[in-house]
Chains A and B, each alone.
Chain A
């Protein structure tokens, strides 16, 4: 078991390293005048020259990359023209357009995205697994058909469509809720929750459809297995079989997918944040893309990639823990 976990972790580190190479190659090597792009369209030639020097763009590509990597692992210093600014350990560079260190920018956005993801996550697990269990239990009945169609509709609806509809219904037509605005939890917990209610619900509705399907299909798969027949033949009731045996079979895939989605979402629930105007990582990324703030874009993509790789590794480990047969076979 330990060996498996270590191997999986080693694999994750390798993938992360490769990711930095790929990203560096795509964003810093491929396009034309990197310094101009990174600095922004309004930069003077002098500023561009400074950026070129900072990013060592005149060096060979591999030294450039090594400096980039060194920044991430050990931190690096940037000359700001007047003095030297130190960018400590996980240094993802400096945004020339907003004069800010990318890592600090991301750290200020993280709690915002966190608020959105954690709340939505709790909702969608409850809703999704609950729906899945219900439709597996009532299989072959009208309830199941109804739930099947609802989940299909859920998977077919983009989150920005359901979000828009919810805003129209609850904020403008019925006027039950104020327009969603983000208030930090530390400032006012009640307004924090009210402001995030609609984003949570939108995200949870869409995500839960996936979980409902996964839960149901895993449970039905288990229900078709021989050992369920054994327990039926020993007088165990349907409720016992669903609640004890079928649900246990669905546990491993659901846990693994949760870890995966949780991590991926942390990299920015781009659409939800943009739609509801939540100032998190995703919205910041969209902004950076629109104004072509290269260091921010690369930094955010890298952080998101980090979350995905981490989530993948954790998902695999949880899967193995929940279903030890995986490791053995």
Chain B
């Protein structure tokens, strides 16, 4: 009996080890591991990567700025259209250059395909702009602003920032942005206004994030400058008509860029993820012929 007690207890069930059923060995929970797969965060890296969020917020800000400028008559729709189309063309050339230089061509679309799509789109939105301009005309301005705010928030929430979360939906995000532009277009009276607003929204909500993603992937060192540049432009333009909006925007920018990363890093020691033999095995996807 004494012999058996002294024999080391083993974690097995097929032998009687002469211990009571509720025996707790000193090796209990030995296989418990904590925080196996957690990432270490570096403050400045997180700060830089927060640019993904602030860039999108800045883009929304620019969209609102363009509307306010047109509403007040400081900006003609033709000028907006010219500026944005020129920028889009430059962006397109940049994309072609990146694709060519980094050999990253996922689709086999040709230049001709892209021009055709652009023309078809421009034609349709130009043809439909009389409809768009009067579509929400009967709705009160307060409702329109509330809806626009909701839609722009929706665009922010569902935008694809790079994480694969269940919430992310690029289509929903783009649609929310377009809906906001259609809402605002009806406050601007002429068909040219509505045409340039919708075109601008496609460019800034649809194409611009794609270009940013390309840049981030291949030339990551551009990101901090792009974030900074967008922030400067947006805050200066906001400042021209609303100091409150500009200050709010800058505060939000600083909060997201510097305080949120610090918050994230400071919360890391609280992470307590338990792993052990009871974890469900995850099948690695291998080529199953």
On whether the two chains bind one another, the answer is no
Question: Chain A interface (Cβ within 8 Å of chain B)?
Answer: none
Contact surface of B with A, Cβ cutoff 8 Å: none
